[in-house]
Amino acid sequence: MSRLSIEASTPLCLLQDAGRFGVRHLGVTQGGALDWVSMAWANWLLGNALNAAVVEITLGGFTVKAEDYCLLALAGADLGAHIDERAISPGRSFVLQKGQRLRFTQPFDGARAYLAAPGGFDAPAVLGSCATVAREALGGVDGLGNALAAGGRLSYSGTGGALQELSQPALPTGGPLDVIVGAQIGQFSGQSLFDAFNTDWALDSRADRMGMRLLGTPLQYQGPSLISEGIPLGAIQVPPDGQPIVLLNDRQTIGGYPRLGALTPLALARLAQCLPGEKVRLAPVVQETAHRQHIEYLRRFQTAGRACSR
């Protein structure tokens, strides 16, 4: 077993995997890495299952010290990671010698970094997952939903993995965020539909793992009030004030606000790397097209070459 002691952390540094499934009908939220693409690449770098337990570090403020020789991988945002005094860029695996520190300072590019270890970090599976959801007291290293905290410890038991780096950025970049339009789309005013897909939306600072609010021209829903129903990941719900909220991994399982549609998983991964104040555009896409693009993207994990970093 290889161990890391946590010297600094924040409530936004969480153990995550793909999330909890098969329990949504019990009111249990999904949880899981917000930028699933970067989580998958971090794991890919070590030859792990793509959804093995990783640390999701949001904005920085996280420091670990190796208590043993550790092989780790990093993908996602550039949060100013350093091994002792040496800067290290995301998209690669690396060694932390016993006694060395890995430190994340502040966001330079993106918002969330993912740290992986061979075989995934050790954590109990709670309802099938180690995804940390503080609100539900589920997941994490202790199984009780607590964020990683200074004084705590991470460990992994897997072996193998090699030093390598990604030959391309982990995330597809540029362009609007794809929205699969939902059944209630016709109930928004024509002007609102135009505004939704032709104007900028700024990310509000009121954002967490449950949802991100988009600020812009308010959208007008003209349909009848709705009975609560299941909410998919990425749903863009429009409350009465007209400012849409993108519902993320820790969302409630059912809800009754009208919805514009739902972001595609690839769009969600990109959104997860946006900071408050950043502007995004939305673009409508049909389910079949989005599905095709998604399957195509997943193929990269099979075909991508592993470049030896040294």
H or E element that contains 156: strand 153-156
- CB 8, min distance to other proteins, A: 28
Q: What is the DSSP secondary-structure string of 74-128? A: EEEEE---EETTEE--SSEEEEE-TT-EEEE---SEEEEEEEE-TT-B----BTT
Q: Tokens in use for 273?
A: 């790397």
- Separation of first and last alpha carbons in the chain: 25
40 lines the binding site for other proteins (CB under 8 A):
no
- CB 225, min distance to other proteins, A: 12
- Nearer to other proteins by C-beta: 5 or 253? 253
- CB 128, min distance to other proteins, A: 11
Closest by CA to 90, choosing from 98, 17, 82, is 82
Interaction residues for other proteins, span 259-288 (CB under 8 A): 259, 262, 264-265, 287-288
- CB 207, min distance to other proteins, A: 19
DSSP structure class, residue 67 = S
Q: Is 135 helix (H, G, I), strand (E, B) or coil?
A: helix
1 lines the binding site for other proteins (CB under 8 A):
no
- Nearer to other proteins by C-beta: 112 or 259? 259
**Residue 243 and residue 260 in contact, taking contact as beta carbons nearer than 8 Å:** no
In the numeric block, the tokens 């939902």 are attached to 182
Which range of residues in 64-72, 169-177, 206-214, 247-255 is near other proteins by CB under 8 A?
247-255
15 lines the binding site for other proteins (CB under 8 A):
no
- CB 293, min distance to other proteins, A: 9
Q: Which residue in 49, 254, 304, 307 binds other proteins (CB under 8 A)?
A: 254
298 lines the binding site for other proteins (CB under 8 A):
yes
Find how far residue 225's CA is from the centre of its chain.
Answer: 31
253 lines the binding site for other proteins (CB under 8 A):
yes
295 lines the binding site for other proteins (CB under 8 A):
yes
Q: Which residue in 3, 7, 23, 105 binds other proteins (CB under 8 A)?
A: 23
Residues 6 or more apart whose Cβ sits within 8 Å of residue 296:
none
129 lines the binding site for other proteins (CB under 8 A):
no
- CB 297, min distance to other proteins, A: 11
227 lines the binding site for other proteins (CB under 8 A):
yes
How far is CA 243 from each of CA 110, 189, 248, rounded to the nearest angstrom?
24, 14, 16
Number of alpha helices (DSSP H) and beta strands (DSSP E) in the chain: 4, 23
String marking each residue 181-220 x if it binds other proteins according to CB under 8 A = xxx-------------------------------------
- CB 73, min distance to other proteins, A: 23
Q: Which residue in 24, 82, 101, 306 binds other proteins (CB under 8 A)?
A: 24
* Residue 39 phi, psi (nearest 5): -55, -45
Q: What is the DSSP secondary-structure string of 189-240? A: -HHHHHHHHHS-EEEEEEE-SSEEEEESSPP-B-S-----EE--TTEEE--T
308 lines the binding site for other proteins (CB under 8 A):
no
The binding site for other proteins (CB under 8 A) comprises 21-28, 126-127, 135-138, 180-183, 227-235, 252-255, 259, 262, 264-265, 287-288, 290-291, 294-295, 298
